[in-house]
Structure formats: structure tokens, C-alpha cells
Amino acid sequence: MAIKRTKAEKKIAYDQKLCQLLEEYTKVLIAVADNVGSKQLQEIRKGLRGDSIVLMGKNTLIRRCIKVHSEKTGNKDFLELSNLLVGNVGLIFTKGDLKEVREEVAKYKVGAPARVGLVAPVDVVVPPGNTGLDPSQTSFFQVLNIPTKINKGTVEITIPVELIKKGDKVGSSESALLAKLGIRPFSYGLVICNVYDSGSVFSPEVLDLTEEDLMDKFASGVSMVASLSLAISYPTMAAAPHMFLNAYKNVLAVALETDYSYDHADKIKEYLKMPSQMAH
């Protein structure tokens, strides 16, 4: 018979586990776990088994563990995690590729009914078609202003209808109708909200950036630096080529307007005397 641990012993064991994870891992995904059940979490843990560990727990307990670990080791990097522990969140410690782990987590979503009082995470549209309900059920549709007709002894919805908008609370009539139609409009799973990597914290959207995206953003940044440098006449590496070119144009313009000469300016002067040669 297994010996039941006390609450204090459980806290000590949790502390030790978290401290061990903080020692072994440098990458953490912070995930919102709203409406995620224990069975679903178990499936996610199985799917990530190998190079990732999912840790759930009270935010206050995790913060305390991180603080104690920081004081013992002198490693302040993980203190950044404390500020991200808001709401119902969990930590996914990983040694794998962050993008691949996020994609694996996203696979484990479970359909859920529209329960009364829930805030809709997405728009809910009831599609047109035969509902299979008998004509006595038309009152549900009339209350929600859904146009219907009777076809072969059953109620048929004639046009698609936006029943619930994203952000609205689900009412009792909407919930009852969707249940009768067998529609489970919502799906829930762990949603990655922040990424921690070796002391840096960033949005998960960064994981979607490709090398081409980075090069485009870098080129755009260089272009902005060059434009600003030219505007205020401040030399930078980005603006240097443009500054040299502009300076050379000025030198050439002076040479063309005066008797000053050098090889390239002399060629330009010859072209200007006989423009017909420029076509050859």
C-alpha cells in the first residue's frame, strides 16, 4: 500500500522537480490552459514525451520556487518567467525545436459544446441545411431569428446564420439550439502565449518567421538607418555607400562646370559635346 504524502511533502517534491527542470532546461513555452481537462493534458504529455515536460501548478508556488532557485544559484534569467505567470497557465520545458513543440501541442485540441455563460473564442455560424428536427421544434429557430422551412417533415435552415460573435457570452437559447443540432463549435487546448529562451522572452509569432522574413526586416531596417543618416548628414555604415556616391556626383558636377579635369570627368565632357556618341 502506497504511503500518502502530506501537503508539505508534496510541496517539497514539487520544489525539487521544478528546480531540477530549471537546471536542465533553457527553453520554456508558457501555455494558457483554460478549459483543458486532465485527460487532455495526459494526451499532450504523451505526445511530447522524449524531449519536453509539461508542468502545471499554482502560480504562487512556481514563483516562489523560481525565486529560491535564483537566490541559490545566482541565475537571474528565470526571474523573467515569474512575470508571465498570470491566469491559468502551465510551463512546457523543452530541449527540442520550439516551433515543432508548439505545433505538436496545437494538435491536441478537443471539441466542446457551447455551454451557457462561456465567452465565445470564435464566431459561431449555423450552416444551412436539413436539421433532422420535427416541425414542433421551430420555436427555437424563431426565438433566434433563424429563417427555416419545412421540408419532407423536418425543419430546414435556409441560409447561414451567425449565431454567436467572438467575445460574446453564450445564451441559454443559443446553447440549447446548438446542442439539438449536435454542433460543438468550440475547441480547446493548450495555447502558447509566450516563449522563454535563455533569458529572453518573446511572442510565439516570432517562431513563424523564416530566414526570408528576417532578411526582409533586416534590409528594411538598414534602409531606414541609411535614410535617417542621409537626412541629418550623420555617417553610418548603412549610409556610407550613398554618401560616397552623392559626394562623387558633386565632384563630377563641379568638374563639368569648371576647367577641373580627371579621366572620368573628361569622358563625360566628351559625351556632352557629342551626344550622338552616347548611343553607341
Q: Are residues 162 and 53 in the same domain?
A: no
pLDDT tens column, 187-239: 888 999 999 998 889 998 888 877 786 787 778 888 888 888 878 877 888 77
Residues 92-150 have pLDDT tens digits of 999 998 999 999 998 888 888 888 988 888 899 989 988 888 888 888 788 888 898 88
Determine, yes or no, domain membership for 2: no
Q: Which three cell numbers stand for residue 267?
A: 569622358
Looking at residue 133, its pLDDT comes to 86
Report whether 89 contacts 59 (CB < 8 A). Answer: yes
Q: For all residues of the chain together, what is the average pLDDT?
A: 85
User: Cα 59–60–62 angle (5° rounding)?
Assistant: 65
- Residue 1 in any domain: the answer is no
Distance, in Å, from the CA atom of 162 to the CA atom of 182, rounded to the nearest integer, reads 16
Confidence at residue 1, expressed as pLDDT on a 0 to 100 scale: 47
Residue 137 resides in a domain: yes
pLDDT digits (tens, 9 = 90+) for 67-106: 988 888 888 888 888 888 998 999 999 999 899 999 999 8
Is residue 270 within 8 Å of 277, Cβ to Cβ?
A: yes
Q: What is the CATH number of the domain that holds 24?
A: 3.30.70.1730
Q: Do 134 and 14 belong to one domain?
A: no
Query: DSSP 3-state assignment of 214?
Result: helix
| 242 in any annotated domain | yes
Average the pLDDT over 249-271 and give the result. Answer: 76
pLDDT at 266 over 50: yes
Confirm whether 200 is domain-assigned. Answer: yes
Three-state SS for 87? coil
Domain count, the chain: 3
Question: Are 13 and 102 part of one and the same domain?
Answer: yes
Helix axes 59-73, 7-24, angle to 10 degrees: 60
Whether 203 and 93 share a structural domain: yes
Distance CA 85, CA 18 (A): 14
Q: Are residues 176 and 203 in the same domain?
A: no
Task: Say if residue 124 is in the same domain as residue 150.
Answer: yes
* β partners of residue 192: 31
Do 104 and 14 belong together in one domain? yes
Question: Which residue in the block uniquely carries the three cell numbers 536542465?
Answer: 24
Give strand pairing partners of 148.
157
* Residue whose cell numbers read 530541449: 95
Residue 57 C-alpha cell reads as: 501548478
Q: CB 1: neighbour CB atoms within 10 A?
A: 3
Same domain, 88 and 204: yes
Print the domain residue range for 204.
Answer: 7-109+189-208
User: Which of 21-30, 46-55, 117-126, 253-262 has the least mean pLDDT?
Assistant: 253-262
